[in-house]
Amino acid sequence: MLFSIIVFIAVLSLLVFVHELGHFISAKLCNIYVDQFSIGMPPRLFGIKIGETDYCVGALPIGGYVKMAGQEDIPLDDEERKKEYGHVPPERWFKNRPLWQRYIVVISGPLMNFVLAIIIYTIIISKGSYLPEMEIEARVGKIEENSPAQKAIVYTYIEGITDKEKYSSQQPQIGWKTGDRILTINGRKIEKFSDIFLSAAIGGTEKEHIVILERLNPDGSVQKLISFVKPEIIGESEVPRYGIAPFYSALIEDVVKGMPAEKAGIKKGDIIISANNIIVDRPTFVELTEKSPSNVPMKLTIERNNEKIPIDVIPTEVGRLKGILLQEIKLPQNKKGLQIVEITEEMQTKTGLRKKDIITQINGEEYSLEQFHLLEIHHPGETLEVEVYRPPVLFGLLESSSKLHTKITLERVNAIGVTLGERLVKINYPIAQWIPEALKRSYNDLKQTILILKGLILGSVSPKVLGGPIMIFDATSKAANMGLNWLLNLVALISVNLAVVNLLPIPVLDGSLVMLLTIEGIRKKPLSPKLQERFQQIGVAIILLLLILVSWNDIRRILTDIIP
């Protein structure tokens, strides 16, 4: 927890520092008197005064500010103005500088956040990195039952034709397939899986989306298709979705000794491309294997060292705990436990178990996750006696900790005896492409942020997706635990988000000053102090409402996570 807090404060401080540094540098270059440069909000903890400026750190790490003579968020009267910065020559007041200089000072903060994102992405790109497949391509993985993707109408694409009526003479196909590669959605180029998710979320559920995709056929040929589909709110999702998961290659991480895969010659590092002439990824291969007929060979196509190899393998019967996902955790006194990460409603009803329960013993013995998987393989159909520790809910206020005894059954399924892992792709760019690629990624973040704001305004994106400091804390904590690259990517994304949000024409934000300066430029004089004061009051009310909304969203997410 302490590590997560330190990371959160460090990220927030960096974002605020860079933002305020933009205002500070431009103010100095425009000869505006800067009284204070603060990271964190008052009260002042410590600092140093160099020349006319007090460089300090505030006690509240929730923002920062550059205090300039003549910048009045709330208009002052003459007496207050004289007290605040009467000692400063009027020509160095912010309000008395040329309009174009004030524009530069105001815009420099958000601009520096965008520059920070470019710098971070350049660092990431220069190092080279291993990325999940979903970050570099937009392929369809497992398709949910009765989802829009499963029911989508698909035609052979006629180049340049997107009018559905022009395809009426064709016999349509139904449904997307695992392995399909999404090229465009509503004319927008799709490069990675998050682009698909975003297109569904902001496109709304009212109109059919026009999706151009490629399909690899079993004979190796590639077919270009067009699909017409309406995303839907599925299950507990708060945004419209097509009902697909990312494509995860079926990479062989380990081969179990004595099982059919070893006998068939399958090796660690192989990738299963297809099974029985069906393109598969990790979850679809597991599902297909489990349902395969007993003693009937499966015809696999394996990729090994960039070569495709046909292999026949006969699955064997094993046990499997279906409907429950476990992770190994450490318990006091150097003991191990298996914690329930996910569980279906059916299994909850059948076993009485729930998410976050910890299995401490199976048939009277302690098991690691690896030992449990071996138990599954060798004991199909067996019913296991399990001892379970149930943690307290909300520190014991809603429910105290407890222990229970229950039974779980290892269902009989077929398997070939492999462990599947995540495929990471090494990406290296030549030096000449570092900055162009960083600009491209920053621009994509900018475009996505604007599209989400547009969706919020038009109502196609639910305000429930918004989050505040708690969500940012959670995101930075998870990213830091996943590695430095993940954290840097997140900081770059947040920095771009901060740049865009700060330019919204809401009082208190930089965008409000841009709007006031624009009005001043059109009228050739500023708004009256009274109007400016009313404007600020409205802005404060809007900001407070937004804070209440995002805080409630954060609290709702926490309660959903901790209350079974």
Positive or negative CA dihedral for 94, 99, 104, 106? positive
Tokens of 436: 């162009």
Asked if residues 71 and 88 have their Cβ atoms less than 8 Å apart, the reply is no
DSSP bridge partners of 132: 424
Q: Measured between alpha carbons, how far is residue 481 from residues 485, 486, 495 in Å?
A: 10, 9, 20
Say how many C-beta atoms besides its own lie within 10 A of residue 35's C-beta.
16
Could you give the CA distance from residue 86 to residue 553 in angstroms, rounded to a whole number?
45
Give me the residue label for tokens 């520790």.
Answer: 389
Asked if residues 327 and 339 have their Cβ atoms less than 8 Å apart, the reply is yes
Active site residue 20: yes
Backbone angles phi, psi at 40, to 5 degrees: 95, 155
Positive or negative CA dihedral for 431, 433, 439, 445? negative
Identify the active-site residue in 20, 72, 376, 437: 20
Could you give the CA distance from residue 246 to residue 137 in angstroms, rounded to a whole number?
9
Instruction: Say which amino acid occupies 550.
Output: V
Asked if residues 45 and 58 have their Cβ atoms less than 8 Å apart, the reply is yes
Instruction: Say which amino acid occupies 139.
Output: R
Say how many C-beta atoms besides its own lie within 10 A of residue 156's C-beta.
14
Asked if residues 164 and 208 have their Cβ atoms less than 8 Å apart, the reply is yes
Could you give the CA distance from residue 11 to residue 9 in angstroms, rounded to a whole number?
6
Backbone angles phi, psi at 2, to 5 degrees: -60, -40
H or E segment and range at residue 421:
strand 418-421
Interior angle at CA 261, CA 255 and CA 262, nearest 5: 65
Asked if residues 173 and 184 have their Cβ atoms less than 8 Å apart, the reply is no
Contacts of 91 (CB under 8 A, 6+ apart): none
DSSP 526: P
Say how many C-beta atoms besides its own lie within 10 A of residue 247's C-beta.
25
Give me the residue label for tokens 């005894």.
Answer: 405
Q: For the chain, how big is the Rg over CA atoms in Å?
A: 29
Active-site residues, by number, are 20
